[in-house]
Structure 1
Amino acid sequence: MSAEPMGAEEFGELASSIRLAMNGVMDGKPDAVDTALAVLLAEGHLLIEDVPGVGKTMLARALARCIDGSVNRIQFTPDLLPADITGVSVYRQQLGTFEFTPGPIFAHIVIGDEINRASPKTQSALLECMEEGLVTVDGHTHALAAPFLVVATQNPIEMEGTYALPEAQRDRFMARISIGYPDAESEARMVRDREHGSPLERLAPVIDVTGLRRMIATVREIYVSPAVERYAVAIVQATREEPALRLGASPRATLQLVRAARARAAMDGRDFVLPDDIDALATTVLSHRMLLVPRAQHPDGRPARSVDEVVERIVAATTVPVPSAGG
Structure 2
Amino acid sequence: MTQTPPAPKPPDEAGPDGTAPEAIKAVPLRHPGQWIAAAIILVLVGLFVYGAATNDAYKWRTYADYLFDTRIIEAAGWTLALTVCAMILGVVLGVLLAVMRLSPNPVLRTVAWVYLWIFRGTPVYVQLVLWGLFGSIYSRIDVGVPFGPQFFHIDVQTINAAFLFAIIGLGLNEAAYMAEIVRAGISSVNEGQMEASVALGMTWIQTMRRVVLPQAMRVIIPPTGNELISMLKTTSLVTAIPFSLELYGRQRDISSLNFQPIPMLLVASTWYLAVTSILMIGQHYLEKHYSKGASRMLSDDQLAELAQAETLEGGR
Q: TM-score, normalised by structure 2?
A: 0.27
**Structure with the larger strand share:** 1
When you count helix as a share of all residues, which structure comes out higher?
2
Length-normalised TM-score, structure 1 = 0.27
